[in-house]
Amino acid sequence: MVRGRLGLLARVPVLLSLVAWGTSRCEAAAVQWSGNGHWYEAVYVGDHGINWTAAQNAAATKGGYLASITSAAENDFVFSLVEEDKYWGDGATRGPWLGGYQTDATKLADGWDWTGGEPWAYTNWAGGEPNDSPILSDRLQFMGYLGWRVGSWNDVCDDLTSAGGIDNPYGYVIESIPEPATLILLTMGAVALLAYVWQKRGQAARAA
């Protein structure tokens, strides 16, 4: 009887791993941040990149929005998702899109909002930014400094190809909030797994 129970318990980690894999395989790159419970997914585009509006539309299609950053801790977390070379172009200067935008680009540092609706309270502008260069700039991206990626921000226009043939950013970060239905399904799955384990333990005990 003891041997039967030990054999069943030894398989529990495998069952849990299969459940975890099954619930995450569609969005394997998405990572949950403990600071707010939201999920973040770094998306690589490549080629000539993607403009801000197209990136925001793609995020909305997946049920999210371009990442809205409200603290230094959140900024560090989001930045850690896009530190790979592939997300950066122009000598590690121009990084992925974020969810900041302006309705009036002539105001420089004023009038910014987040696509997620969070208040514009925290900023991490690079030195000399925002500066409306090379043309009126009303969208937000990560920006490096002297070839180093430091997670600071740059204001830029929606489509960089309109500013002299510069490639658009090669990626963007999606932020999404778990829906109650998703949480319920995950809970139901965990309960079902536990019921299955206890059923198998009972069968093993009777067989012994």
Instruction: Convert the pLDDT of each residue in 118-131 to its tens digit.
Output: 999 999 999 899 99
Cβ neighbourhood burial of 123 (10 Å; 0-12, 13-18, 19+) = middle
With CA atoms as reference, report the closest residue to 167 among 94, 70, 76.
94
- Give 25's pLDDT tier (boundaries 50, 70, 90): very low
Packing angle of the helix pair 180-207, 2-24 (nearest 10 deg): 160
Q: How do strand 65-66 and strand 31-32 relate by DSSP bridges?
A: unpaired
Q: Report H helices in the chain.
A: 2-24, 52-61, 72-80, 180-207
Name the β-bridge partners of 140: 155
Q: Enter the pTM of the model.
A: 0.73
pLDDT grade for 74, boundaries at 50, 70 and 90: very high
User: Tell me, what's the pLDDT at 22?
Assistant: 33
Predicted confidence at residue 21, as pLDDT, reads 32
Taking the C-alpha atoms of residue 38 and residue 73, their distance in angstroms, rounded to an integer, is 13
Instruction: Tell me the pLDDT band of 147, cut-offs 50, 70 and 90.
Output: confident
Two tokens, residue 58: 């793609």
pLDDT at 42 over 80: yes
Question: Cα(154)–Cα(132) distance, rounded to whole angstroms?
Answer: 9
Top-confidence residue, 185 or 111: 111
Q: Hey, what are 149's tokens?
A: 């990626």
Least confident of 12-26, 32-46, 85-99, 100-114: 12-26
DSSP 8-state assignment for residue 37: S
Q: In this structure, are strands 31-32 and 39-44 parallel, antiparallel, or unpaired? A: antiparallel
Beta bridge partner(s), residue 154 = 141
Give pLDDT tens digits for 88-122: 876 667 899 999 999 888 888 999 999 999 999 99
Written as one letter, the residue type at 77 is F
Inform me whether the pLDDT recorded for 62 exceeds 90.
yes
Angle ∠(116,120,123) on CA atoms, nearest 5: 115
**Quick one: how far is CA 76 from the chain centroid?**
12
Structural contact between residues 66 and 98, judged by C-beta atoms closer than 8 angstroms: yes
Architecture of domain 26-185: Roll (3.10)
